[in-house]
Amino acid sequence: MEFFELIRTGNAGQVKQRLEEDPSLAEKRDEKGFPPLVLAGYNGNYEVTKTILNSGASVDARDVADNTALIGVSFKGYKDIAELLIVNGANINAKNSQGATALIYATMFEQEEIVKLLLDRGADRTLEDMKGSTAYHHARMKGNEKLAEMVKI
């Protein structure tokens, strides 16, 4: 099975074996431009994400839209993977091509547990996306008063 398919299917054992055989795979990109770590995060595969991190992959690798794995798991709501990435040094305030951060995406997609985690770990609630909106603005646009209060500047 192809390396990126192993990541998509969550086969941590075979991913580890392939990375041991060819460590350069940790920084390769699939046909759509996704690095292994971002792909594993998007698919919610904790063990595969951990395996890729342990192989030496860059924790802040970016996809074609400039999303890091942390940004991806933040809007998907994968708290365990978000914690793993943060513990391994992920830039909590990294911005994608739209200027959005993990906190902005977690707020936009109403991922309350992720918002709390990011704030507890020092996410900057004052950062704005390319439209000049902060996480607070996005919470207000969603009509989510609880999140708005959490991310209020």
pLDDT tens column, 58-110: 999 999 999 999 999 999 999 999 999 999 999 999 999 999 999 999 999 99
62-152 matches 1-58 in CATH topology: yes
The arrangement of secondary structure in 62-152, i.e. its CATH architecture, is Alpha Horseshoe (1.25)
Nearest Cα to 153, choosing from 121, 128, 131, 117? 128
Helices (DSSP H) in 61-111: which residue ranges?
69-76, 79-87, 102-108
Q: Where are the domains of the chain?
A: 1-58, 62-152
pLDDT tens column, 112-133: 999 999 999 999 999 999 999 9
The first and second tokens of residue 72, run together, are 């991806």
The first and second tokens of residue 102, run together, are 């993990």
Nearest Cα to 109, choosing from 139, 134, 130? 139
DSSP label at 132? Answer: S
Superfamily name and number for 1-58:
Ankyrin repeat-containing domain (1.25.40.20)
Q: How many helices (H) and strands (E) does the chain have?
A: 10, 0
